[in-house]
Amino acid sequence: MNAENRREIFTRLRAALPHPTTELEYTSPFELLISVILSAQATDVSVNKATRKLYPVANTPAQIYALGIDGLIPYIQTIGLYRTKAKNVIETCRMLVALHDGQVPRTREQLEALPGVGRKTANVVLNTAFGVPTIAVDTHIFRVSNRTGIAPGKDVDAVEQKLMKLVPAEFLLDAHHWLILHGRYTCIARKPLCWNCSIADLCDFKTKTPLPEKGI
């Protein structure tokens, strides 16, 4: 894909959604951090259902740490891998209180030192909470980047590096959200909705999905 088409793709995505953001519900960087930890291999919908009950009760590192693992589990047990996530969240809260005065750190190294926080989670927090132009490559972004030709790569790290290099600077801050939402609702995994896609004419995907016939 050439630079002109790539720029036009993001121009259209921006026109359709000028101020994109995560679908996770949060009111502070700490709430976002915990929600992203909980969202690994789970849907944003399931995480939001759990945190709507948790955060009114405990939404600071000290408060959630005080719950302990056994106290936290009832709030998050509807989320996949909840036992492991409970351990990670409680230890993360302990470290935030002990090492960071209860604040979410703003550097990748400090974030990735927290249990349950990998590069993708750190990128989400840095981008969404602190406005750092990072791109967290999840399954949606990986698929969209490869299928469209925006930034093809063999693994998530390769795709992230290409996106950071190839996405025009003016779009870099919000590219993460545009690509996730496009992959979640239009460029879906099994049968992309090419017939309803605003960038289909710019996309390198060869076997475009036609408009479904009525009644099918």
pLDDT digits (tens, 9 = 90+) for 83-128: 999 999 999 999 999 999 999 999 999 999 999 999 999 999 999 9
Q: Are 34 and 86 in contact (CB under 8 A)?
A: no
The whole model's pTM is what?
A: 0.88
Taking Cα atoms as reference points, which of 24, 27, 101, 26 lies closest to residue 61?
A: 101
Enumerate the known binding-site residues.
Answer: 187, 194, 197, 203
Q: What is the pLDDT of residue 169?
A: 94
Q: Which two tokens stand for residue 52?
A: 């709507």
Domains, in order of start, for the chain: 3-20+135-202 (1.10.1670.10), 29-130 (1.10.340.30)
Mind telling me the catalytic residues? 120, 138
Q: Calculate the CA 128 to chain-centre distance.
A: 9
**HSE (CB half, 13 Å, CA atoms) of 73?**
8
> Residues at the annotated binding site for [4Fe-4S] cluster?
187, 194, 197, 203
Say whether pLDDT at 215 is over 90.
no
Cα Dmax for the chain: 61
Phi, psi of 192 (to 5 degrees): -60, 145
Q: How far apart are CA 12 and CA 19, in angstroms?
A: 13
What's at 168, amino acid-wise? P
**For residues 199-213, average pLDDT:** 91
In this prediction, residues 33-60 reach a mean pLDDT of: 95
Question: What is the DSSP track for 134-170?
Answer: -----HHHHHHHHHHSSS--SSHHHHHHHHHHHS-GG
Structure tokens at 196: 């309803």
Percent of the chain topping pLDDT 70 = 99
Give residue 212's pLDDT band: very low, low, confident or very high (50, 70, 90): confident
| pLDDT for the residue numbered 216 | 52
